[in-house]
Amino acid sequence: MTVDLQELLPALLYIALIVLVIALTVLVIKLIKTIGKVDRVLDDVNSKMVRVDGLFDIIDKVTDYAASISDKVVGGITNAIHFVFRKKNKKRQ
């Protein structure tokens, strides 16, 4: 009733291989389910971003308009100050 090592090692390797294949199969099935969930979340985020994109465009246009108005105001003030100091410099000469 002695067990020969040449018979035991292949049996242990086959058992380990079967366990590994079963574990990998379970892992792959869970990975496929997870990828499906991630895909649904990405689609949801993408649809929400499309809805919010119009709002961002409006904000961008308003910001550009406000920046152009402030540039014109600052330019006008700068020109007025330059005009005042230029007149004083001409009076001194």
pLDDT in tens, 6-53: 888 999 999 999 999 999 999 999 999 999 999 999 999 999 998 899
Q: What local confidence, expressed as pLDDT, does residue 20 receive?
A: 98
CA gap 74, 81 in Å, rounded: 11
Q: What is the pLDDT of residue 69?
A: 95
Whose tokens are 């242990």? That residue is 12
CA dist., res. 28 & res. 33, Å (int) = 9
User: What tens digit of pLDDT does each residue of 63-76 get?
Assistant: 999 999 999 999 99
Residue 89 pLDDT greater than 70, yes or no: no
